Amino acid sequence: MEKYIFLTGGVVSSVGKGVTAAALGKVLKERGFSISIQKLDPYINVDPGTMSPYQHGEVFVLDDGAETDLDLGHYERFIDASLSSVCNVTTGQIYSEVIARERKGDFLGGTIQVIPHITNEIKRTISLVPTATDSEIVLVEVGGTIGDIESLPFLEALRQMRANLGRENTVYIHVTWLPHIGATGELKTKPTQHSVRELRSIGIQPDMIIARSDYPIRHDLCEKIALFCDVEERAVIPLPTTSVLYEIPLLLEQEGVGKYVLSRMGLESRKKPDWTEWESLIAEQRKPRPKVRIAIVGKYVELKDAYMSVREAVRHASLTVGVDAEILWLHSAELERGKGWDELEQADGIIVPGGFGARGIEGKITAARYAREKRVPYLGLCLGMQVMVIEFGRYVFDSEDVNSTEFNRITPHPVIDLLPEQRGIDELGGTMRLGLYPCQLLEGTIAAAAYGQSLVQERHRHRFEFNNNYREIFNSKGMVFSGESPDGRLVEIVELTDHPFMIGSQFHPEFLSRPNRPHPLFKRFIEAAANLSREKQDDSQLIAEQSLDGDETDKGV
């Protein structure tokens, strides 16, 4: 029988419930169980695909093309799995399904109600996960905070699941926040107590409480929480904030979380957890490493969550290369106004990530021009690849009119254009080219050398593509099409010959990067950036030495 671990959040949002779920998944996986994680999002959108990154952060894409919450990215990175569309469920999806069945007459004239129809549908989608992902233990994270009206049907469904499946197959974990009172220097447990009371009023008694805080949590506070919330003392887990994200599974491990959770489910570890690789990753991250400056030029840079996977992929690659990447967040619209150029000029590498719409696009194009002309390593991700193509086209045709039809419908040079099959699609939700597609690599290119393979699979999320009418002329001017769809119809990777590293991919490599297995394109990009950083240092050292020599000569004379 499959086992379910339900995670709810208390007190405030944004305390890292998603990362905690992902880290717990890793702890259990290390004990020899097949794990999967599902996120239940109480908002009414069918998926986050149509939501603004300002509202929602990054849209993470799965192999099967599902557009999901960014927490799915944490899940995949921590448990190193490829999840399925059933792993992200929203209120919108649940209602759409129930209403579609009602229209078909499936309910035989019955009145459709939140309980049981909506809750049954929620339970059904939860029960799909073990088979869809071939897992024995499913962690289910409920988005939002206890007390939100919109999450009530989800919590009711979770409550019923214990009644349906039994105690030994269900564990409830409540993740809360201990506020810090500056005046007295104390951490407070009262909001946690209130949150548990609220949870109990819904009929859920947590088996474990994970208490988050930005400060160290003393043991007596855990005792107090245990006492007031009727949770065993060893099941109150202090989890202070750490600057090293991938340390969280180890912190949970130290607190005995894996052992306790398994014992609640009547299970024993199948193998002794082996943390050697993970520990060395963390030790590496703590070590001082030479700095490399990476500029990310986007239009949502005020909200770093909008580029979550890109930032993580940079971190993974930097660890492997042995450098410390400092990310310079540059706003593309500001670059257009002449601001931020000093920072861009300091960068050892430039990333233009994915994006939609015309705002800030010229800033990205000028950043790509700067990278090409100054030979600064450049990695273009989806829109960033299209930007690189537009910039190259402007150089080839010596015309600022070269563009993508996304930004200028009547451009005389539509170097990026809609796919024929995308024309005539009016609906926005779920209609892009989404999910995993094969990409054939061209021998002898930087991309092929980076991957060390001839055929790879990568995740996509876009409507526009390279326009094949420009292949020949671009090729003759130094752009190589180093990756394409196996039928040769679609350009997937472009790179420049006369440049240390200027590559753009139509897909999103950042979604497949793992802490212990950085993505090959990111790794090569960071290596190129590290080279540039070293060259710059050598140059400045030479200049310093020369001026010193000059001084001495002056003195000597």
Q: Does 387 bind ligand GLN (CB under 6 A)?
A: no
**DSSP letter string, 509-528:** GGGG-BTTB--HHHHHHHHH
CA gap 230, 225 in Å, rounded: 8
Give the one residue of 6, 172, 370, 464 binding ligand GLN; rule: CB under 6 A.
464
Write the interaction track for ligand GLN spanning residues 329-358; mark x where CB under 6 A is met and - where it is not: -------------------------xxx--
The conformation of residue 447, written as its DSSP 8-state character, comes to H
Three-class secondary structure of residue 439 per DSSP: strand
Beta carbon nearer to ligand GLN, 161 or 521: 521
Question: How far is C-alpha 238 from the geometric centre of its chain's CA atoms?
Answer: 25
* Catalytic one of 222, 229, 382, 439: 382
CB of 303 to ligand GLN, least distance (A): 16
CB of 225 to ligand GLN, least distance (A): 43
* Catalytic one of 484, 510, 519, 527: 510
CA gap 253, 256 in Å, rounded: 5
Strand pairing report for 137-142 and 3-9:
parallel
Beta carbon nearer to ligand GLN, 462 or 524: 462
Closest of 31, 38, 33 to residue 136, by C-alpha: 33
Strand pairing report for 186-187 and 180-181:
antiparallel
Whether 510 is catalytic is: yes
Angstrom distances, CA of residue 237 to CA of 140, 210, 302: 19, 5, 33
| Residue 29 in tokens | 């996986």
Give the count of residues interacting with ligand GLN (CB under 6 A): 10
Span interacting with ligand GLN, options 68-76, 215-223, 441-449, 461-469, rule CB under 6 A: 461-469
Beta carbon nearer to ligand GLN, 3 or 311: 311
CB of 82 to ligand GLN, least distance (A): 20
| Residue 45 in tokens | 């959108």
Residues 16-55 that bind ligand GLN (CB under 6 A): none
CB of 391 to ligand GLN, least distance (A): 15
The conformation of residue 347, written as its DSSP 8-state character, comes to -
Beta carbon nearer to ligand GLN, 154 or 464: 464
| Residue 47 in tokens | 């998926």
Q: Does 406 bind ligand GLN (CB under 6 A)?
A: yes
Beta carbon nearer to ligand GLN, 358 or 543: 358
**DSSP letter string, 271-323:** S----HHHHHHHHHHHS---EEEEEEEES-TTSGGGGHHHHHHHHHHHHHHT-
CB of 471 to ligand GLN, least distance (A): 18
Give the one residue of 142, 157, 382, 439 binding ligand GLN; rule: CB under 6 A.
382
Beta carbon nearer to ligand GLN, 310 or 347: 310
Give the one residue of 367, 383, 390, 528 binding ligand GLN; rule: CB under 6 A.
383
Whether 382 is catalytic is: yes
Angstrom distances, CA of residue 394 to CA of 198, 243, 413, 474, 500: 60, 43, 9, 11, 21
CA gap 547, 249 in Å, rounded: 51
Q: Are 125 and 86 in contact (CB under 8 A)?
A: yes
Q: Does 312 bind ligand GLN (CB under 6 A)?
A: no
**What torsion, rounded to 10 degrees, do the Cα atoms 195, 59, 347, 313 define?**
80
Q: Does 461 bind ligand GLN (CB under 6 A)?
A: yes
Beta carbon nearer to ligand GLN, 321 or 365: 365
CA gap 268, 279 in Å, rounded: 23
Beta carbon nearer to ligand GLN, 355 or 363: 355
* Catalytic one of 462, 508, 519, 527: 508
Closest of 529, 536, 493 to residue 378, by C-alpha: 529
Q: Does 462 bind ligand GLN (CB under 6 A)?
A: yes
Beta carbon nearer to ligand GLN, 356 or 395: 356
Residue 540, Cβ density class (10 Å: 0-12 exposed, 13-18 middle, ≥19 buried): exposed
Whether 508 is catalytic is: yes
CB of 420 to ligand GLN, least distance (A): 14
End-to-end CA distance of the chain: 89
Give the CB-nearest residue to ligand GLN: 354
CB of 355 to ligand GLN, least distance (A): 5
The conformation of residue 230, written as its DSSP 8-state character, comes to T
Span interacting with ligand GLN, options 32-40, 153-161, 457-465, 526-534, rule CB under 6 A: 457-465
Give the one residue of 224, 259, 369, 463 binding ligand GLN; rule: CB under 6 A.
463
Span interacting with ligand GLN, options 161-169, 333-341, 460-468, 473-481, rule CB under 6 A: 460-468
Span interacting with ligand GLN, options 95-103, 365-373, 456-464, 470-478, rule CB under 6 A: 456-464
Closest of 400, 403, 407 to residue 415, by C-alpha: 403
Beta carbon nearer to ligand GLN, 26 or 462: 462
- Paired with 111 in beta bridges are none
CB of 360 to ligand GLN, least distance (A): 12
CB of 432 to ligand GLN, least distance (A): 6
The conformation of residue 496, written as its DSSP 8-state character, comes to E
CA gap 206, 338 in Å, rounded: 54
Q: Which positions touch ligand GLN (CB under 6 A)? A: 354-356, 382-383, 406, 461-464
* Residues labelled catalytic: 382, 508, 510
